[in-house]
Every structure is written in C-alpha cells, then in structure tokens.
Amino acid sequence: MTTTTIAAPETVAVGPRIPINENFPGLKKVYSNPDIFVINNFLDDPYCNDLIDRALEKKLERSPVAYAGWTDDFKDLVEISSKGPVAWISLVSAWFQVKDNGGSQLDLVVHSLQNYAIVFVLVTALIGLFTYSRAEGLKSLRTSTSTTIDDLSNPSSGAREFVRQSAKLFYYPGDDDDDDITSSQSSILQQEAALFEAPTVIKYEKDQILAPHYDANRSAEIEDANRGGQTLATLLVYLNDVEKGGLTRFGKLLSSSAATNTINNALLFFPADRNGQFDARTEHEGMAAIDEKWIARIWKHKRRVPSPFGLSESTLSNSID
C-alpha cells in the first residue's frame, strides 16, 4: 500500500478551490483547508494494468522537472541589481575615472551612464547563467521515469477511462442538473477534458524520489501560457499496491491523519484556488520508493490545454462520451 500523509496547515490567504462533483462515487474528504480527497476504486484493475502496459510499450524516460517561477526570479534579481549594486558600481567607477582627469560634473554623469549600461549587461548575463544553472540543478530533484499517454482510441484503454472518470469528477452540476452524466452531456465532459494535460504515467523504482515541490506556478500566466495557464487541480491514481515506501507527503502540513491508498484509489488536491492564486500549503513530495511504485496523473488547468500537452480536438470529440 501507499500512504499519503495529511496535516494541519499554515495560514495562507487563498480563495475557494474549483468546484467538483461532491457526489462522485467513493469520494472522501480527508482534510479541509486545503481540501484533500481520496477516491476509493477510482479505476478498476484492468484499467490500471493497461496504463502500466501502455507506458512500458511507449518507453519511459527520466521525468522532467521545470523551474517554475524563473521569470519572476529573473525579473526580481535584475530589478534589485539595477537599483542597487549596478547603480553604485557605475557611479563609483565613474568618480574614479573623472577624479584623475579633472573632469566636470557632466563628465561624471556621462561616464556613470556609460558604466551603468556596461555593468547592467554583464550583471543581466550573470543572472541568466545563474537561472540556467539553477534549472539544471533541479533535475536531481526527480529521479522517476514517466511518459504521457494521449492515444484514447481504444474504448477499453486505461487512459480513456482515466480521462472519462476525471471529467465526471470535475463536472460540477448546477442546482437544476441531475448528477448523473447522460449522453446529452458528453459535450460537457469534452469541455472538462479539454482542460486536462494528457495522462502521465510515472514509475518509481527503489530509492527514486520526487523532492518537495509545487504543482502550481507563481508565474503560470507567462511560463504556462502554452499549456492552459495555472494548474488548478492534481489527480493521482495509484496503479499498483506498494507494501513499503513511496509515501506522498505534504510537508507543510503538520501530521494529523493519514490516508491509505492502494491500487485503484486516487488522491485529489488543489495547487491553486479557482482564480489561479498559488497555494503554498500544497507543497508535496514523493518519498523514496522501496517497492516499485506506479501512478498516473492528470493536471487540470485554468484554460484549454492545446496539443501536444493536452488532448487533440479529434481525440476529445471521438473518445470522450
């Protein structure tokens, strides 16, 4: 089995999460504010096994790690440098340049501006190198392998059922709507699935980890614009039983309860509120695996996720019903 550690949050002012179908079969809230759910029997065994088989057929590769928020970090470092060190270095160096030559105040200003331009370019380049090195260093935070499954053409495929079940979970019926999904509501399911990234299957072998991280991005409107913007929900399905290791841990929450997840079960949480505001309380990690661990993930974004990150129009229209 795989255990998910839940806990008491630090106080953070965020808005309400996106709505979901609270009557979804097997749905159980295991923590409030931030809301975390476990869903029993989300996928039947054959679908879980099929997801693993399709991933093995497609070939798994080292799971990618993105430097989320690098644009804000880069901008902040450049702004701080330009207002402080760059300005002072330019002024002091200009003063030494004119001091020995008996230059005027106008010469001091001219040299200061020239020096500022040169120092600013150099500092910006150094910040760029720092940002790049940090992005490269983040690769060690995740040692699992993974692949995406975007072929939903087989009616009995695990990926297709995962997307269908997820669309039903995130479909929030209005006050006058029936909770049951009918054929006339297939277009609604397609609209929900259009907000998903394609299912990702992830494998953890012994000692492989996913270090503490966030699924949302403070700079999502810029960095994730081509993949639907902010991540509003994370849905993980456990595809096999794990006797030891592989805990999913929410490190910023004080341990107060634990939910046990076996094959078929799902974990649902919300990295940002319904408006896309980042929620730092949902930092989590995949702790070191002891037994081999398989999970499948769907991220729901704020807007339509286009190919190649999301599902194509033809896939949505022909496979989601």
Domains along the chain with CATH numbers: 27-63+143-171+186-319 (2.60.120.620), 71-140 (no CATH)
Q: How far is CA 2 from CA 47, 240, 263, 282, in A?
A: 19, 9, 9, 19
Task: For tokens 């331009």, name the residue.
Answer: 117
**pLDDT on residue 95:** 65
Chain segment 64-82, per-residue pLDDT in tens: 666 555 566 656 666 666 6
Q: How far apart are alpha carbons 291 and 241 in whole angstroms?
A: 9
Q: Is the pLDDT score of 11 beyond 60? A: no
Least confident of 39-53, 182-196, 285-299: 182-196
Chain segment 26-40, per-residue pLDDT in tens: 999 999 999 999 999
The mean pLDDT value for 296-305 works out to 96
Number of alpha carbons in the 13 Å side-chain half-sphere of residue 162 = 37
pTM for the model stands at: 0.77
The mean pLDDT value for 291-318 works out to 92
Number of alpha carbons in the 13 Å side-chain half-sphere of residue 98 = 17
Strands 266-269 and 231-238: antiparallel
- 234: nearest Cα among 202, 209, 187: 202
185: left (phi over 0), alpha (psi -120 to 50) or beta: alpha
In the DSSP assignment, the letter for residue 14 is -
